[in-house]
Structure 1
Amino acid sequence: MPRRQVARESRPARRGPVRSAALPALFAAALLGTLAGCAAGPSNRPVIAVRQDGGSSGSPPISTIGPKPVPPLERPGSPGITWSDCDQPTRDQLAGLGNAAGVPYQCGRVVNVLDAPGQPGSGTARISVLKAGDGPVPLVVVNDVGGEPGTLYAARLASQLPRAMLSTFSLIGVDRRGTGASDAAECVPPDVRGRVVGYDPSSARLDDLLDAARRASQECVLDLDQRLAALDTWRAAADLERLRQELDVPRLNAVGHGEGSRVLTTYMSRYPDRIGRIVLDGSPDPALDGTGQAEARAAGAEQTFGAFVTDCVAHGCPLGGDPRQAVRGLLDGLRQRPVTAPDGTQVTAGTALTAMLLGLADRPHWSDLAGALARARIGDVGGLAALVAPLLGGPDRNPARLDPQLVTGCNDTGTRLSPDRVARTAADWRGKYPLFGGLFADRLLWCSPWPVPQQTPPTTLAVPGAPPVLVLSTASDPITPAPGTERTAQQLTTGISVAWQGGGHGALATSPCATTAAQHFLVDGRAPTDGTVCPP
């Protein structure tokens, strides 16, 4: 009969020159455990975080064995960034997004070479950065290109992480080139954004979507000129190297969230001798092309919706006893008669599905998504419109997030499909993934009219001699599905996988167990056991 070795406390040996007397007992104690079997040879069963009493624990087991030690933490030398106070504006933006009390914010800018393919080594890229907290060691934070600007994401993350982490680190949020305050790519006409987001994926006619994609491409080519081809992951990785130089640290310590993880894996392949402590919180599948990525996300979104339905019913769902049927009824109604929200957004079935996808990614606010869907059933679509407003350019006047998502996404893939091919794919995926299959299939048409890039991110992630990299996956993730994240850990060869059995986009600051693993890894240089599973 199998015998389980439960977690035991042990005191870790600290690594690196950074010391902090403020670190609590959480960092002075680690859990050590494995699952053992009676059969000879290694077990293939996952490691599970457990307590001495047999219950699940918020702390993962710690591995003391690795192919190479975790790099030491080193303080900056003489940073070249001029920081200025931006505390109040940042707090204003964080209103309703998290408790930011006590975390100071400063803003700065890094200048790098634009390095467009047609004009290598020339031009200027101005990168906006934000420092959250005042810990001695910089920890760079990179977000999805279509998500919150990295500066705002880092500020929010700093308000959610255990404060002890900020005794060691200051989070350095980066607005990737073309996003946020980094010379935002605002090139798609507002009406075209509405047509792209609002396109109904149940339609068999793709003419309107293709026309909208053509107009977006034409306007962005004219507006951005040489900048257009310079907005990609390859050059975003070079921006991180420039940031490392300006921070004056020998290695880059960083957290990548979702698609932002691809910037870090690209950085690792380009600058292998500059790799510090890296955490990837969700990651695109490096083995899949654009079509494969889209299908994986369709499957991930369906799975996440299933988890949302289960959670909603368990907590008195405002959508009733059959949320799936309620959502289907809402979409059918919007197909017959779209509804205009108070902010002027026309909410179609496509708009509602996009809003749902964004809401499913935000696990702490699933109850808000359920409420917005319930109100939409009686004609109040304001909640759904609010979810898509950042994509379209909301009343806060922040740059629309759809534009850099389109530009960078199309520059990062060579996939260009014909309308006929997309139509056949959509018909197939609507059968496989009834809710989101058509949505992701139709998105394959977004890049069809765009110029084919000369260079795309590397698909092979193995970096010989790389130090351990912590890779966090989320079981039901609609943006970076767990199988792709796990494949990232496998390809890295030094990847240490921690799988959270929860839902939403990303585990850091949401799963206590995964967050503790990141704490031990980043602060103490102690990697969890590869294959650790964190409870939901």
Structure 2
Amino acid sequence: MGESEGTAVPRRRHAASILVALSALAACSAGPSTRPVIAVRGDGEQPSAATVPSGSREVPPLESYETPGLSWSSCTDSARARMGASAPAGAWEYECSQLTVRLDVPSRPGRGNLGMSLLRVGTGGSPLVVVGEAGGEPGTLKAARLAASLPATVLSTFTLIGVDRRGTGESDPVQCVPDAARVGIVEADPGAESNEDLVDAYTLASRECVLDMENRLPGVDSWRASADLEQLREAMGVPHLNAIGFGEGSRVLTLYASRFPDRIGRMVFDGAPDPTLDATAVAQTRAVAADETFSAFQKDCVVRGCPLGAGATDRYKALLDALRDKPLRGGDFDLTPGTATEAVLAGLADRSRWGALAEAIVAAEGGDGAKLSAFVEPLLLEQDEDPPRIDAGIITACNDTTNRVPPERVAGLTEDWRAKHPLFGAYFARKLLACGPFPVPQAVKVPRLVGAPPMLVLTTAADPVTPREGAERAAQALPAGVVVGWQGGGHGALGQSACATKAAEEFLVEAKAPSSGTVCPP
């Protein structure tokens, strides 16, 4: 990431491999706001429209955009190369551009520059910005995939504009964690008696990133990413920002709303992090949700007749034990209990790849770790035009909180959660070590959001990344949050649930807010 105009950082990138497919699922119905009843109707049913929540502002009208200060050029071939074999089918055309935004680190407020990469797709006259997760697929690729799963009316009403948020993708990416630290973090066994090796890996990551980035390190956070979106809105020449936030990307949009309340347009959060809990409580809720998601995966396995069948849980545990005795050697990293856990969590998060995840576990049982390792490669390896995702994920998460959990506290939580949450409790407890060695950021006073138009929050019943209860609390924290809950599994409902996707379509295109508490069947 560069601090001055024109500064470029050499990098190679890794092509993303997450496939987002639209599942033709049943429609949804509106229920009470607390634990609504699911009423499955015919495929022709649509989410019911409701009046705007009392006390909120009206949904802003759609506005046309222009980008005279941005130079767009075709990037179809490079975008498809970055997505690899999982690139959407069809003759999709993509254009890319770069916007210079302010680095704005605490030591130099308002000064310094970095490049923010953009991708657009669609023919609509209004812009719809797509913001992803710092440790996930870059927003440019997220937008490219999303175009293939959204209804045609959305793409004819809007032009999707994907954003590689600061430090990710092609936006002057963070790439400072040594290979040894990356591998050490991911390969670390959640079942280990001691956390010492993992502490050492995070300490090495922190030391090298502080040395490599110096005063730029505090600039990679969600607070400044929200200011980047305001510069993008200004560059597009529109009075309001329409946007979709995926998972932790929703935090960027909530910060944007708090900072620029008069600029809020039509916003959809597909999974949102819990704003009410500290890091320890969030980690425990994720451990619970991950266990629930694996149960949903096992039930799905039985229904589909996948090779794991009803024994998925026992076979997964047995695989970890086998890898503990004899890891499967790989070229860049080994398949260990830690790598396998990371891979399974990545697979559980992507509902469209549950079938592939089951096959990968079976292959690993037979001594072939390549398929399971493929789920982890985007975190660890740089290839083509994308850097390893783990760097920006750790740094952004640690810059977004002043909370640091001492290693001795983590050791106690690890033992406790290992007993309470057998599949993933120890893993999530040990992840609390990540920020310990990193500098504590300067606290930011976030303005209180008082008035706002309705904002749609999609939740997923079994979501291992942004658990449903936390996303519901995120909606409750908004002045006019509207919840649509999908009773499915995986991370995110948009493009997976036809019902949730329809609700988003009507909200974005027609400004129709569904009844809060609407439930979409699995």
TM over 0.5: yes
Residue number among 140, 156, 159 corresponding to 1:170 in the alignment = 159
Take 1:436 and 1:32, find their aligned partners in 2: how far apart are those partners?
31
User: Is 1:309 matched up with 2:295?
Assistant: no
Take 1:279 and 1:262, find their aligned partners in 2: how far apart are those partners?
12
Counterpart residue number, 1:530: 516
User: Is 1:506 matched up with 2:492?
Assistant: yes
Instruction: State whether residues 40 and 521 of structure 2, in contact with CA within 8 Å, keep that contact through their aligned partners in structure 1.
Output: no
- Offset at 1:230? 0.4
TM-score (norm 1): 0.89
Instruction: State whether residues 88 and 148 of structure 2, in contact with CA within 8 Å, keep that contact through their aligned partners in structure 1.
Output: yes
Residue number among 93, 99, 114 corresponding to 2:88 in the alignment = 99
Which structure has the bigger radius of gyration?
A: 1
User: Is 1:425 matched up with 2:413?
Assistant: yes
1:253 alignment partner, SS class: strand
Take 2:433 and 2:303, find their aligned partners in 1: how far apart are those partners?
38
1:501 alignment partner, SS class: strand
- Offset at 1:47? 6.5
Residue number among 322, 328, 340 corresponding to 1:339 in the alignment = 328
- Offset at 1:463? 1.9
Instruction: State whether residues 169 and 385 of structure 2, in contact with CA within 8 Å, keep that contact through their aligned partners in structure 1.
Output: no
1:463 alignment partner, SS class: coil
Counterpart residue number, 1:280: 269
Counterpart residue number, 2:278: 289
Amino acid at match of 2:475: A
Instruction: State whether residues 62 and 527 of structure 1, in contact with CA within 8 Å, keep that contact through their aligned partners in structure 2.
Output: yes
Instruction: State whether residues 146 and 495 of structure 2, in contact with CA within 8 Å, keep that contact through their aligned partners in structure 1.
Output: yes
Counterpart residue number, 2:49: 62
- Offset at 1:432? 1.3
- Offset at 1:134? 2.4
- Offset at 1:66? 2.9
More divergent stretch after superposition (81-90 vs 268-277): 81-90
Higher relative contact order (CA 8 A, sep 6+): 2
User: Is 1:384 matched up with 2:387?
Assistant: no
Take 1:523 and 1:364, find their aligned partners in 2: how far apart are those partners?
26
Counterpart residue number, 2:4: none
1:173 alignment partner, SS class: strand
Q: 1:100 and 1:135, CA in 2 relative to 1: closer, same or farther beyond 3 A?
A: farther
Take 2:456 and 2:166, find their aligned partners in 1: how far apart are those partners?
25
Over the aligned positions, Cα root-mean-square deviation in angstroms equals 1.8
1:425-465 deviation per Cα after TM superposition (whole angstroms, max 9, x unaligned): 1111111111111111001001101100102584x8x6222
Counterpart residue number, 2:395: 407
Amino acid at match of 2:454: P
- Offset at 1:365? 1.1
Take 1:442 and 1:364, find their aligned partners in 2: how far apart are those partners?
28
Take 1:365 and 1:43, find their aligned partners in 2: how far apart are those partners?
31
2:86 alignment partner, SS class: coil
Instruction: State whether residues 244 and 269 of structure 2, in contact with CA within 8 Å, keep that contact through their aligned partners in structure 1.
Output: yes
Instruction: State whether residues 412 and 456 of structure 1, in contact with CA within 8 Å, keep that contact through their aligned partners in structure 2.
Output: no
Counterpart residue number, 2:16: none
Q: 1:32 and 1:288, CA in 2 relative to 1: closer, same or farther beyond 3 A?
A: closer
Instruction: State whether residues 202 and 437 of structure 2, in contact with CA within 8 Å, keep that contact through their aligned partners in structure 1.
Output: yes
- Offset at 1:190? 0.7
1:266-294 deviation per Cα after TM superposition (whole angstroms, max 9, x unaligned): 00000101000000000000001111111
Alignment of 1:201-212 (within 5 A): 201-212=190-201
Residue number among 223, 232, 244 corresponding to 2:221 in the alignment = 232
Q: 1:48 and 1:59, CA in 2 relative to 1: closer, same or farther beyond 3 A?
A: farther
- Unpaired runs of at least 5, structure 1: 1-30, 36-41
2:176 alignment partner, SS class: coil
Q: 1:229 and 1:32, CA in 2 relative to 1: closer, same or farther beyond 3 A?
A: closer
User: Is 1:489 matched up with 2:475?
Assistant: yes
Q: 1:352 and 1:238, CA in 2 relative to 1: closer, same or farther beyond 3 A?
A: same
1:350-405 deviation per Cα after TM superposition (whole angstroms, max 9, x unaligned): 00000000000110110000000000001100011111000001544620000001
2:452 alignment partner, SS class: coil
Take 1:279 and 1:374, find their aligned partners in 2: how far apart are those partners?
37
2:375 alignment partner, SS class: helix
TM-score (norm 2): 0.91
User: Is 1:190 matched up with 2:179?
Assistant: yes
Take 2:315 and 2:367, find their aligned partners in 1: how far apart are those partners?
14
User: Is 1:217 matched up with 2:206?
Assistant: yes
Amino acid at match of 1:225: E
Instruction: State whether residues 283 and 484 of structure 1, in contact with CA within 8 Å, keep that contact through their aligned partners in structure 2.
Output: yes
Take 2:511 and 2:326, find their aligned partners in 1: how far apart are those partners?
56
Q: 1:100 and 1:455, CA in 2 relative to 1: closer, same or farther beyond 3 A?
A: farther
Counting matched residue pairs gives: 494
Counterpart residue number, 1:20: none
Counterpart residue number, 1:263: 252
Counterpart residue number, 2:311: 322
- Unpaired runs of at least 5, structure 2: 1-26
Residue number among 102, 106, 109 corresponding to 1:113 in the alignment = 102
Counterpart residue number, 2:79: 90
More divergent stretch after superposition (212-221 vs 55-64): 55-64
Take 1:161 and 1:457, find their aligned partners in 2: how far apart are those partners?
36
- Offset at 1:80? 2.1
Instruction: State whether residues 135 and 166 of structure 1, in contact with CA within 8 Å, keep that contact through their aligned partners in structure 2.
Output: yes
1:108 alignment partner, SS class: strand
User: Is 1:46 matched up with 2:33?
Assistant: no
Instruction: State whether residues 82 and 386 of structure 2, in contact with CA within 8 Å, keep that contact through their aligned partners in structure 1.
Output: no
More divergent stretch after superposition (500-509 vs 77-86): 77-86
Instruction: State whether residues 145 and 176 of structure 1, in contact with CA within 8 Å, keep that contact through their aligned partners in structure 2.
Output: yes
- Offset at 1:161? 1.1
Amino acid at match of 1:467: P
Amino acid at match of 1:282: G
Amino acid at match of 2:36: P
User: Is 1:356 matched up with 2:347?
Assistant: no
1:322 alignment partner, SS class: helix
Amino acid at match of 2:480: T
Instruction: State whether residues 49 and 57 of structure 1, in contact with CA within 8 Å, keep that contact through their aligned partners in structure 2.
Output: no
Q: 1:181 and 1:44, CA in 2 relative to 1: closer, same or farther beyond 3 A?
A: closer
1:120-152 deviation per Cα after TM superposition (whole angstroms, max 9, x unaligned): 111112111111122111100001111001101
Q: 1:449 and 1:44, CA in 2 relative to 1: closer, same or farther beyond 3 A?
A: closer
Take 2:445 and 2:486, find their aligned partners in 1: how far apart are those partners?
27
2:104 alignment partner, SS class: coil
Q: 1:79 and 1:64, CA in 2 relative to 1: closer, same or farther beyond 3 A?
A: farther
Take 2:85 and 2:504, find their aligned partners in 1: how far apart are those partners?
25
Counterpart residue number, 1:521: 507
Q: 1:415 and 1:58, CA in 2 relative to 1: closer, same or farther beyond 3 A?
A: farther
Instruction: State whether residues 414 and 453 of structure 1, in contact with CA within 8 Å, keep that contact through their aligned partners in structure 2.
Output: yes
Q: 1:457 and 1:517, CA in 2 relative to 1: closer, same or farther beyond 3 A?
A: farther
Instruction: State whether residues 80 and 87 of structure 2, in contact with CA within 8 Å, keep that contact through their aligned partners in structure 1.
Output: no
